[in-house]
Amino acid sequence: MAYFASTFGDLEALLAAGEPTQVADAAPVLLIEDDAHIRRSIVYQFHRQGYRVTCCADGEAGLEEALKHNYCVVILDLMLPKLDGFTVCKQLRQSRKDLPIIIISARGSDIDKITGLGLGADDYVAKPFSPAELEARVRALRRRTGSFEPEPIAAGGMVLDCTKYQLTIGGAVVRLTPKELKILRLLMNSPGRVFTRENLLTQVWGVAFEGYHRAIDAHMSRLKIKLLEQAGEPPDWLESVYGVGYRFRDPAEKMTVKIHDPAAAGPAAPEG
């Protein structure tokens, strides 16, 4: 079984219930690991860095998931139920020659490392390790291989290019900071969905403290002003939902307003 994981608390609930938890679009990582504690640690670290992690707890499910969907990297344990990591790595490399694979294992002997790398793994990390170190290795591997460049997001005549850090509105090109890009990517990938300030803090800033809420509002105000100045029109599609947060409304969608017209309803029914 494969499932998505977002925050530490979500993953706890997810592991108990066995249900998927969707997160906003980000660089997708496949984690094939049967140890729940290690999964929690890795998911928490990677989520803070903006990745979307899909978890599989056995080799068969992991192999099926890796062949079915596209991932920027696969993190693979060796001692797995149903199908061992060496076999998964070998079959993945035969089918997906360009898929980055990092093996993580308590088997840290030279012969195990040589075997794993020989079967096609791009890196080998011996347990125990720091999740932050693993994320740094993923970053370095992606930099070397140039893996997974996200597709531009198009909505309502606008195009958000995540690789160029720019938003095109009509003929105007607006340059974006990394934080601005993350905010717009979250909102534009889920039109109509309201993201609370806590959502934005967690997924963009990696924190969710009460005192940071004003910083969100100030950042959004500056972003709206920037879009107005550089695109020449107010960004009405970037909506503030009072007391909750923010959402993206596709400009191509027409707002329908229902007006109650007593005259159109016909004569009132006689009393009695």
Q: Is the pLDDT of residue 25 over 60?
A: no
User: What per-residue confidence (pLDDT) applies to 70?
Assistant: 82
pLDDT band at 39 (very low <50, low <70, confident <90, very high): very high
Among candidate residues 226, 249, 225, 250, the one with its CA nearest the CA of residue 175: 226
- Write down the pLDDT at residue 20: 34
Asked if pLDDT for residue 268 goes beyond 70, the answer is no
Query: Does residue 74 fall inside a structural domain?
Result: yes
- Name residues whose C-beta falls within 8 Å of residue 173's C-beta, 6 or more positions apart in sequence: 166, 167, 230
Q: What percent of the chain has pLDDT over 70?
A: 78
Q: Is the pLDDT of residue 114 over 70?
A: yes
pLDDT class of 257 with cuts at 50, 70, 90: very low
Give, in order, the Cα–Cα distances in Å from 263 to each of 200, 201, 259, 267, 271.
46, 49, 12, 8, 18
Question: Containing domain of residue 22, as a range?
Answer: 2-145
| Unique residue bearing structure tokens 């997708």 | 28
Asked if 14 and 139 sit in the same domain, the reply is: yes
Lowest-pLDDT range, 20-24, 38-42, 194-198, 206-210?
20-24
Is 6 in the same domain as 130?
yes
pLDDT at 260 over 80: no
Same domain assignment for residues 63 and 188: no
Arithmetic mean of pLDDT over the chain: 78
118 with 162, same domain? no
Same domain, 20 and 133: yes
- Domain shared by 194 and 104, yes or no: no
| Complete DSSP assignment for 136-193 | HHHHHHHHHHT---PPPEEETTEEEETTTTEEEETTEEEE--HHHHHHHHHHHHSTTP
Residue 267 has pLDDT above 60, yes or no: no
| pLDDT for the residue numbered 7 | 36
Residue 263 covered by a domain? no
For residue 42, being part of any structural domain is answered with yes
Average confidence (pLDDT) over 132-137: 90
Asked if residue 12 belongs to a domain, the reply is yes
Question: What is the per-residue pLDDT across 58-77, written as a single tens digit (0 to 9) for each?
Answer: 999 999 999 888 888 999 99
pLDDT digits (tens, 9 = 90+) for 155-213: 777 888 877 888 998 888 888 888 888 888 888 888 888 988 888 887 777 665 566 67
How far is the C-alpha of 172 from the C-alpha of 263, rounded, in Å?
A: 47
> What pLDDT score was predicted for residue 2?
56
Contact 119, 88 (CB under 8 A): no
Tell me whether residue 103 is in a domain: yes
Cis? peptide before 267, omega within 30° of 0: no
User: Would 255 be classed as within a structural domain?
Assistant: no
Give the number of domains in the chain. Answer: 2
What CATH number has the domain bearing residue 172? 1.10.10.10
Are 58 and 92 found together in one domain?
A: yes
At residue 92, does pLDDT exceed 60? yes
**Token representation of residue 122:** 């791009």
User: Are 141 and 29 members of one domain?
Assistant: yes
The mean-pLDDT minimum among 14-18, 129-133, 189-193, 214-218 falls in 14-18
Top mean-pLDDT range of 6-10, 43-47, 140-144, 204-208: 43-47
- From 65, 55, 60, select the one nearest 99 (Cα to Cα): 65
pLDDT: is 200 or 34 the higher one? 34
Task: Classify residue 257: in a domain, yes or no.
Answer: no
190 and 121 housed in the same domain:
no
**pTM for the full predicted model:** 0.51
pLDDT: is 60 or 9 the higher one? 60
30 or 17, higher pLDDT: 30
